[in-house]
Structure 1
Amino acid sequence: MKYFETKFLEDARDFIKSLDSKTVNKVFYNIDLAEQTNDPKLFKKLNNDIWEFRTRYAGLQVRLLAFWDKTEGENTLVFATHGFIKKVSKIPAKEIDKAIKIKENYFKNK
């Protein structure tokens, strides 16, 4: 059973295209697993609005930030806003701010 379905906005798609194929496969594997489980090692809440898909592969910590859209009737959707390679222990505030702006723009134009 899937708890949600993940959609990728333009910045997230561009980030994924920049990764090598093995890393992309691992990211998609973890997202698929996150959709079916409730594992904070894969999908973790950062604040009230923004969540992160977490993938560790080949020494990299790949992060895709995301938000929920529960307004689409029966389908619960999660939209990945953008991604980055995490280099420090905390998620940089500028990355969270960027995700919030993308989310606000999404709902404004919906």
Structure 2
Amino acid sequence: MKKFEVLFLTEAREFLLEMDEKSRNKVIFNIDKAKITNDNNLFKKLKGEIWEFRTLYNNTHCRLFAFWDKEEKRETLVLTTHGIIKKTGKTPEKDIEKAKQIRLKYFEQKNR
């Protein structure tokens, strides 16, 4: 049973469209798998309210940053903000900050 829905915001969608088809399919497959399992290798909390979908495919580490919108009681929604191809072991702080800013903007617009 699915635990949440995923909505791709503009930058996340553009990031996926820039990938080759096999890589994109693997990322989508892992996101779909994360919806039904609790696996830190696929979906992991980073800092504060920011999470990441994680995919390793062809020695490439792909990350899609995300946050939860749990305000609606009837269903849980995870919104992806943007993605990166990770070059080092540590997640860049600037990408966590970017995800936080997108999250703040989302809730500001939603609550108007």
Q: Normalising to structure 2: TM-score of the pair?
A: 0.96
Look up the match of 1:86: 86
Look up the match of 1:33: 33
Give per-residue Cα distances to partners, 1:52-102, cap 9 Å, x unaligned. 000000110000000000012311000000000000111000000000000
Q: State whether structure 2 residue 61 is matched by structure 1 residue 61.
A: yes
Q: State whether structure 2 residue 74 is matched by structure 1 residue 98.
A: no
Look up the match of 1:9: 9
Q: For the residues of structure 2 that align with 1:80 and 1:88, how far apart are their CA atoms?
A: 21
Q: State whether structure 2 residue 19 is matched by structure 1 residue 19.
A: yes
SS at match of 2:49: coil
Identity within the alignment, %: 55
Q: Which runs of 5 or more structure 2 residues have no equivalent in the other structure? A: none
Aligned residues: 110
Q: Which runs of 5 or more structure 1 residues have no equivalent in the other structure? A: none
Partner amino acid, structure 1, of 2:10: E
Partner amino acid, structure 1, of 2:41: K
Q: For the residues of structure 2 that align with 1:10 and 1:69, how far apart are their CA atoms?
A: 17
Q: For the residues of structure 1 that align with 2:77 and 2:19, how far apart are their CA atoms?
A: 24
Partner amino acid, structure 1, of 2:74: E
Q: For the residues of structure 2 that align with 1:63 and 1:47, how far apart are their CA atoms?
A: 14
Q: Normalising to structure 1: TM-score of the pair?
A: 0.98
